[in-house]
Amino acid sequence: MSEFVETDCKDPAGHRQHICQLRKEGRQAEVTELMKDPGHTCLNCNAVAGNAKDLCNPSSFSKA
């Protein structure tokens, strides 16, 4: 598996608010809130989120 490169982000301007960046900054409470009721996964880091804008490379998935 290749290492994440910030250029893999589909929204570099909004990257500072993506889950992966929040995790790096130790902002776990915010990460937990963004991960509630997930419907999207990041194809870069496999994080899940309720909103695609919170991920670098989002992909929707069906909730069972």
pLDDT in tens, 15-29: 999 999 999 999 999
Q: How many structural domains is the chain composed of?
A: 1
Domain span holding position 15: 10-60
Does 2 reside within a domain?
A: no
Return the percentage of the chain with pLDDT > 90, whole number.
Answer: 81
Q: What stretch of H or E contains 42?
A: strand 40-42
Does 5 reside within a domain?
A: no
Between the CA atoms of 25, 59, 64 and 21, what dihedral angle is there, to the nearest 10 degrees?
A: 0
pTM score: 0.83
